[in-house]
Amino acid sequence: MEIVPYQEEHRIFRASFRRFLEKEIVPHVDQWEEDGIVPRWAWKKLGDNGFLCTSVSPEYGGQGADFLYSAILIEEMAKANFYGLSARLHGDVVVPYIVQLASEEQKKKYLPGCISGDLLTAIAMSEPQTGSDLAGIQTTAVEDGDFFILNGQKTFISNGINCDLVIVAAKDPREANPHAAVDLFLAEAETPGFVKGKRLNKIGWRSQDTAELFFADCRIPKKNRLGKKGTGFKNLMTNLQQERLICTIGAQTAAEFMLEETIRYCKSRQLFGKPLTGFQNTQFVLAEMAAEVRIGRTFVDKMIVEHWQKNTVVIDVSMAKFWITEMAWRVADRCLQLFGGYGYCEEYPIARAWRDIRITRILAGTNEIMKVIIAKAITS
C-alpha cells in the first residue's frame, strides 16, 4: 500500500518526465560532468516541457501543481543518477521565496522567466567563515536613499555561474540583534558591483555549477528587499522544512538506485564459479541495506504527505534528513565495496553515485545541526 496518495495524473507526469530525462538529459551527462556545468539550453528544455517551478500559479505561467509533482521530479532525477541540473533548487527552494515574499510587480517580472527556463535563480547564504550559523553572516546591506548597498562575499552557491537572479542574505550592521539584522534581497546578475567568482572544483556534483559570489558597493533598489525589515532570518527558517525534505527525498531515492544497481551487479558477477549473490556475506549485506532502505522510504513518504498537507514537521524532517542521508552514505559505501575494483571506475554508475551522495550530509544544514535541532526539541 502506497503512503503517498499519487493519482493517475501524477503517474502520467512521472512517466513523461522519465522519458524526457532518458531522451534529452542522460545522453549528455558524461560530457557535462567533464565540463563542470550544464548548458543553458538544457534548462530551457526543462522549462519548455513544463518541468520547472510546477507549483507556481497559472497567473504567472505555472501549473499550480501540488508538492507531489515536486517530489516526483526530485525522485526521477535521482534515479537518473544525476544532480548537475539543479532544478529542485531553482523551483522548490529559491522561487518559493519570490512567490511568498515578492511584490506583485516583481512576481510578474521574474516568475514567467523562472518557469520558462530563461531566468535561473540561486540563493546566497553561506560565506567563507559562516555556514550553518546564518545569524553570523558578514555581508552587509546599508540603506542609501532609494537603494541598499551590498558588500560581502558568498561561497558554495549552487547555480552560481548560470544564475540570473540571486536571493542574497545580508545584515544591517547597525542592528545589534543578529537575528533581526538579517534581510533578504533580490540581486540581478548584471547589477554593477555583483561579480561571479570562479567555479568551485568539487569532489561530487561536478556538473552543478557552484561558485563564489562577490558584492562590492552593489546598489540594490529598496523595493528588492523581500519581506519587512528584520524578517530575513525568520523567512529563511520558515522555508528550511521544504529545503531539507527535498534533500532527503533525493538521498532516499539515490539509496534505492544504488541498491538496485548493486543487486543487479552481484547477480551477474561470477566468483569461484558462482554469482556474488551465492555467498552468505553478500546476501547479509544486501539484506541489511534492503531493510534500511525500506525503513527510509516509509519515513520519507510520511514526511512528503505531512508537508503536502501543509503541516509543520520541522523536527521530524530534521530527523529524516539526518537519518536518511547517513543511511544513504552507508549504502553507497557498502555497494561500492561489493563492486570491488570496478566500483572505483567511472564507467560504473556506482562511482558517481558514491561521490555525489556525500554532500547530502552537509546540504541544507549539516547533520550535526540537525542533531542540535532535534536535541533542543526533545530536551526542552
| pLDDT score at 130 | 80
pLDDT tens, per residue, the chain with 380 residues: 789 999 999 999 999 999 999 999 999 999 999 999 999 999 999 999 999 999 999 999 999 999 999 999 999 999 999 998 989 999 999 999 999 999 999 999 999 999 999 999 999 999 998 877 778 899 999 999 999 999 999 999 999 999 999 999 999 999 999 999 999 999 999 999 999 999 999 999 999 999 999 999 999 999 999 999 999 999 998 899 999 999 999 999 999 999 999 999 999 999 999 999 999 999 999 999 999 999 999 999 999 999 999 999 999 999 999 999 999 999 999 999 999 999 999 999 999 999 999 999 999 999 999 999 999 999 98
Domain positions in the chain = 8-119, 122-228, 234-379
Q: What topology is assigned to 122-228 in CATH? A: Butyryl-CoA Dehydrogenase, subunit A; domain 2 (2.40.110)
- Burial of residue 251 (CB within 10 Å: 0-12, 13-18, 19+) is buried
| pLDDT score at 238 | 87
- Residue 170 has, within 13 A of its CA and on its CB side, a CA count of 32
Give CA–CA dist 367/236, Å, rounded: 18
| pLDDT score at 64 | 97
| pLDDT score at 134 | 79
| pLDDT score at 363 | 93
Q: Which of 75, 127, 212, 243 is catalytic?
A: 243
Candidates 119, 97, 214; CA nearest to 167 is 97
CB atoms within 10 A of CB 131: 16
235 touches 227 (CB < 8 A): yes
Superfamily of structural domain 234-379: Butyryl-CoA Dehydrogenase, subunit A, domain 3 (1.20.140.10)
Looking up cell 501543509 gives 310
| pLDDT score at 201 | 94
Per the annotation, the verdict on 260 as an active-site residue is: no
| pLDDT score at 146 | 96
pTM of the shown model: 0.96
| pLDDT score at 285 | 98
Give CA–CA dist 200/211, Å, rounded: 5
Q: What topology is assigned to 8-119 in CATH? A: Butyryl-Coa Dehydrogenase, subunit A; domain 1 (1.10.540)
